[in-house]
Amino acid sequence: MAIQEDDFKRVISHAKEYGFVFQSSEIYDGLSAVYDYAQQGVALKNNIKDYWWRAMVQMNNHIVGIDSAIFMHPTIWKASGHIDAFNDPLIDNKDSKKRYRADVLIEDHVAKIEAKIEKELAKAAKRFGDAFDPEQYKATNERVAGYVASSKNILARMGDALTAEDLQGVKSLIEELGIVCPISGSANWTDVKQFNLMFGTKIGASADTAMDLYLRPETAQGIFVNFLNVQKTGRMKIPFGIAQIGKAFRNEIVARQFIFRQREFEQMELQFFVRPGTQKEWYEKWKETRMKWHYSLGFSPDNYRFHDHDKLAHYADAAADIEFKFPFGFKELEGIHSRTDFDLSSHEKYSGKKLQFFDPELNESYVPYVVETSIGVDRMFLAIFSKALEEETLENGSTRTVLKLPAVLAPTKAAILPLVKKDGLSELAQSIFEELQWDFAVSYDEKDAVGRRYRRQDALGTPFCITVDHQTKEDQTVTIRHRDTMAQERVAISELSQIIDRAVNVKHWLQKMK
Ligand code: GAP
């Protein structure tokens, strides 16, 4: 656990030191759970969004994108159920006066049990070597099987209590598990209460005519209320999807874990409209497709797992998370929800407008069912960034910090470095930079010794360093250094564009989904 916490601290400080993520309003001591993306961070974030958009919209003829407004008519949130049901169960510790999400306290308790399982598995893997089968060990080793059963049982009991809105049951579970406040160390808890997560604001010039609004807590509703406009103007036939990337806002109480849980964040959501009765099939299909998208980025599949929900949201008939192995354990990265016809039917009811599709094959109109995929851009950023960050010990015993980002997502694809500033090398390097700039995000750096510049580019996740030296003047060749292997090769300047393109082209990466 301590190692994981250290890893996480390293991730946060690396993100700051190299210009990826800053605390919002830092010179005013910051704003809790709000972050700014800096010069490197915004590029990585944009690349993540582009990778998603291309996979979802560009590569699917039956999916289109929109960008709806953050401000929406307040009745939308009544219809969607957010005013009545978008709550977190909160509990206060009477001694520390600190407030917690009751379900997170229980989940953290389960995470500790899961850490014990991982530890036992790691020990056993060392003992048994290649023949080790973790699943079999989990089922047969008495102690580990006990941990597995206990964590499942706790989560199931929590799910049941939350579904039944049995807040007293949630409190009893916390007490029974002996969960204490991390600050005061006491189990002196208040009752569990529900707390609505939406931020309110007002629109209008004078106090008496101003209208109460909410900052949207999800982008999905902007898609639902535009369903008919898009279907008609785009001449879309079911099944079809509408995708959107945009900001969402939630007054999160448990504000920690860096950009994992923020009050202002970005979502990439797809609402896929299907014929009623086919939703299960599409739900399974989207689960598979989305997992393939994650795998295409090249991190080990061990970092991902599905978690099927025991407790379903008010709109869903099936739901699963894609969980990722963050430095603080497996946590939700993306949600896939079979949302039934809940949202469209409810908007029909509240708006008085029909939101139906005439299906020419069935010769009938119906309210479509919806399968949703929803992933936080910031969580995706944290997943990629934390997994890519490595501290390597080299053969000569020195260490290097390297950010092994998938090349397609790297903020800078290549850095152009003159070996020295004199002898016309700067001018030559500058001209290569200016040529590559038309096609790729590249940078130019002539400060410090070249070894130090390599290390800096490693830490920024730049896949290639291109060094211009005296030989370049003679034969129009440069050295290209590969970030992950540190291997260097001599290539012609005329080949550079092709080499970089092969490594960073979105097409090559997305083709791995096939
Ligand atoms: N439209 C469905 C929806 O919003 P959700 O599970 O509440 O579902 C979807 O959120 C995704 O949005 C999550 O899987 C997560 O990646 C991201 N997300 C949710 N709350 C977040 C927060 N406070 N900070 C950062 N990302 C968040």
Q: Which domains does the chain have, with CATH numbers?
A: 1-70+223-391 (3.30.930.10), 87-196 (3.30.40.230), 394-513 (3.40.50.800)
Q: Which pair of structure tokens corresponds to residue 285? A: 């299909």
Residue 500's alpha-carbon distances to 48, 248, 443, in angstroms, are 19, 35, 13
Query: What is the pLDDT at residue 313?
Result: 77
Query: What is the pLDDT at residue 256?
Result: 74
Contact 111, 101 (CB under 8 A): no
Query: What is the pLDDT at residue 165?
Result: 86
Query: What is the pLDDT at residue 2?
Result: 42
Query: What is the pLDDT at residue 170?
Result: 96
Convert the pLDDT of each residue in 286-321 to its tens digit: 999 999 999 999 999 999 999 998 778 778 999 999
Query: What is the pLDDT at residue 69?
Result: 98
Q: CB of 375 closer than 6 A to ligand 1?
A: yes
Q: CB of 265 closer than 6 A to ligand 1?
A: yes
Query: What is the pLDDT at residue 310?
Result: 75
Q: Put residue 261 in one of left, alpha, beta given phi > 0 → left and psi -120 to 50 → alpha.
A: beta
| Strands 364-366, 357-359: pairing kind | antiparallel
> Under 8 Å CB-to-CB from 94, ≥6 apart: which residues?
186, 188, 189, 190
* Low-confidence spans in the chain with pLDDT less than 70: 1-5, 255
Q: CB of 252 closer than 6 A to ligand 1?
A: yes
- From the alpha carbon of 379, which atom of ligand 1 is closest? 16
Residue 436: closest CA among 478, 498, 502: 498
Residue 430's alpha-carbon distances to 4, 447, 466, 469, in angstroms, are 42, 13, 11, 13
Query: What is the pLDDT at residue 130?
Result: 86
DSSP 427-440: HHHHHHHHHHTTTS
**Strand-by-strand arrangement of the 464-468 sheet:** 442-444, 414-418, 464-468, 477-482, 488-492
Q: How far is CA 484 from the centre of its chain?
A: 24
Which residue, by CA, sits nearest to atom 21 of ligand 1? 261
Query: What is the pLDDT at residue 1?
Result: 40
Which residue, by CA, sits nearest to atom 25 of ligand 1? 261
- From the alpha carbon of 252, which atom of ligand 1 is closest? 23
